[in-house]
Amino acid sequence: MARIVLKPGRTAPSVYHHPWVFSGSVARIDGPCASGDVVDVVGPRNDFIARGLFSAQSQIAVRLVTWRASEAVDDDFFQRKVADAVRLRERFVPLSAGQTARRAVFSEADGLPGLIADQYGDWLVVQFLSFGLDSRRDIILDALARELHTTGIYERSDVDVRGKEGLTRRVGVAHGEEPPEKLVIRDGVLAYEIDVRTGQKTGHYLDQRENRSAAAALARGRRVLDAFSYSGGFGLAASLKGADEVVCADSSPAALDLARRNAELNGCTNVKFVRGDAGSFLREQSGEHFGLIVLDPPGFAKSSHNVEAALGNYTDLYAAAMRRLDRPGVLAACCCSQHIQPSQIVRALNAAAVAADRQVRIVESRGQPPDHPVAANCPETAYLKCLLCEVN
């Protein structure tokens, strides 16, 4: 087994169990190794630190999976990790007639770096995002099928990050039967039609389940804007909770068509749909006013290098929304960028309030649900922020 020797002064993150070893921390590689191989990570004096999966092309040179020198990283290891991930979901997010969808595996949070697995009833949709897990694909698929008793597993490994690992995109049936073109699930208070083949992410945003309910609880008697609405989750939940009127805005015609079908599926009759950029809608429709605005944009910060630009975009968006809010009104500000911290969102909200001549009080700070657990050794797994604010 090859050894990855770290530079002096670069060992602390690995010693404290952070699962990523960046290429810039590597002093040298002792022994032959290729992407996907199991390697030992050692300090400058050759003292064992951890064991992980090597990637020759990625900036993350090693994804660490165990800090025990006696633990073998073999087929049984990955099968145990899958079983442990499923056990946690069975305890905290059990499936039922009223909840038929959940995230079954969440990458580093479950000790399976680069693997996403979302469960939709009898079907599973997976993404392999790292070389180490991709090279063990068959083992992992078998373990998932066995633990979750799936009818079929569909793969959506079609994201850009695979290119950084030296992997090509892959989409299609991975195990068992092919899923139907349209699936209907229940997630929280709503039923959804989802498209696992071409829909965003794996077909649905499971991480906002509890935040939709929390925002909807504030919707009664208000006119609501669900900006960046995709399949209509926030807006339709608000409709069911007594909103006077709901506007769902999205730039994607396919997303709006899906939201319309979901409105019909849930019996929501007070919803209208607007195609267009949500930011432009807020800035240009000076006559539009709302009692509740939900902002759930795509991640503006794709890397740590563009955080400042992203914060500027969030500030502009928040200010535009505040100008369309009643006094007082409610703003639900969501951010899914792992590179942006909650304190930075708070500063952006304050800057927006100053620009819009409004006052903001955060009444609730929320995150992601239990099927998206946060690993204490990997703060990056705490990526989702949702701040419920009164704007006066």
What's the DSSP call for residue 39?
Answer: E
CATH fold of the domain at 3-66? 2.30.130
Structure confidence at residue 298 (pLDDT): 81
pLDDT digits (tens, 9 = 90+) for 59-99: 999 999 999 999 999 999 999 999 999 999 999 999 999 99
User: How is domain 205-391 classified at the architecture level of CATH?
Assistant: 3-Layer(aba) Sandwich (3.40)
DSSP 273-330: EEES-HHHHHHH-TT--EEEEEE-PPPS-SSGGGHHHHHHHHHHHHHHHHTTEEEEEE
Helices of type H across the chain: 12-15, 75-92, 131-134, 137-148, 161-164, 209-216, 233-240, 253-265, 278-284, 307-322, 342-356
Structure confidence at residue 325 (pLDDT): 96
CATH fold of the domain at 75-183? Transcription Regulator spoIIAA (3.30.750)
Length of the chain: 392
State the residue for tokens 């191989």: 37
User: Is 336 a known active-site residue?
Assistant: yes
Structure tokens at 259: 């939201």
Structure confidence at residue 302 (pLDDT): 72
Structure confidence at residue 276 (pLDDT): 87
Given a cut of 50, the residues of the chain with pLDDT beneath it are none
What's the DSSP call for residue 151?
Answer: S
**Residue 374 in contact with residue 382, Cβ under 8 Å?**
yes
What pTM, to 2 d.p., does this model score? 0.94
Longest dimension (CA), the chain: 68
Please identify which of the residues 334, 336, 386, 389 carries the catalytic annotation: 336
Structure confidence at residue 50 (pLDDT): 98
Rounded Cα–Cα distance for residues 148 and 165 (Å): 28
Structure confidence at residue 310 (pLDDT): 86
Give CATH 3.40.50.150 domain extents, the chain. 205-391
Give CATH 2.30.130.10 domain extents, the chain. 3-66
